[in-house]
Amino acid sequence: QSVLTQPPSVSAAPGQKVTISCSGSSSNIGNNYVSWYQQLPGTAPKLLIYDIHKRPSGIPDRFSGSKSGTSATLGITGLQTGDEADYYCGTWDSSLSAVVFGGGTKLTVL
Amino acid sequence: EVQLVESGGGLVQPGGSLRLSCAASGFTFSSYWMNWVRQAPGKGLEWVANIKQDGSEKYYVNSVKGRFTISRDNAKNSLYLQMNSLRAEDTAVYYCARDPIIAARPLYYFDYWGQGTLVTVSS
């Protein structure tokens, strides 16, 4: 059971938009920055979003992040088949004194 | 180009030990907090431990405290994870990952990851 809660799966058609939620508490998302990672099949995770909404160099602006209270959201627009992957949210948890992740969301582009 | 290359994984019996290594290149290794993150087969990510630039501070997830030890050798640009008293639930791919900031406190996210090394604990 992960500290952060994500939907197990989401799906949408190519070109459409999808959002992935990440729910936590005041000890983690509520008082800390959130990051998001993309893990393509058989590969290592890749940083997509940090500090809630910032994108590393090379990450297209189709990917966006936001936070409200104790929940965060990853948005992906203009979906491509290459976006099919597992997506994870992560943050610091001050009660656990540990970095915590969501259980991951599998994105299917139909 | 930043590169992190893990090694040392393999099959080990319950109660056994294993030492993982991570060779870093393409950046000033001694300036960054470093981490180990693991992923059990078919499961999500779990942060394991991190270590400060000079090795003076080390932090662990509760499930590995007292059994795992993170260390580094800045002269060799290498990160290590000594794993003792291994359990079946430690079976996972272990990733070496860099915290992006050059500062006294980490940011708790990871901008570069290695390809991972698989540890299997089974009799």
Q: What is the mean pLDDT of chain B?
A: 96
Does residue A34 sit in helix, strand or coil?
Answer: strand
The 10 Å Cβ neighbour count of residue B14 is 13
Q: pLDDT category, B93, cuts 50, 70, 90? A: very high
User: In this complex, do B45 and A46 lie within 8 Å of one another by their Cβ atoms?
Assistant: no
Residue B45 touches chain A, beta carbons under 8 Å = yes
Q: pLDDT category, B101, cuts 50, 70, 90? A: confident
The pLDDT score that the predictor gives to residue B42 is: 94
A20-58 per-position pLDDT tens digit: 999 999 999 999 999 999 999 999 999 999 999 999 999
DSSP assignment of B61-87 = -GGGTTTEEEEEEGGGTEEEEEE-S--
Q: Pick B114's closest partner by Cβ from A44, A91, A100.
A: A44
Q: Pick B45's closest partner by Cβ from A45, A56, A98.
A: A45
Q: Pick A101's closest partner by Cβ from B44, B112, B113.
A: B44
Residues ≥6 apart with Cβ < 8 Å to A54:
A65
| Structure-block tokens of residue A22 | 């990440």
Q: What angle do CA A8, A14, A19 make, to 5 degrees?
A: 40
Residues ≥6 apart with Cβ < 8 Å to A59:
A47, A48, A49
Residue B115 touches chain A, beta carbons under 8 Å = yes
B43-66 per-position pLDDT tens digit: 999 999 999 999 999 999 999 999
A3-23 per-position pLDDT tens digit: 999 999 999 999 999 999 999
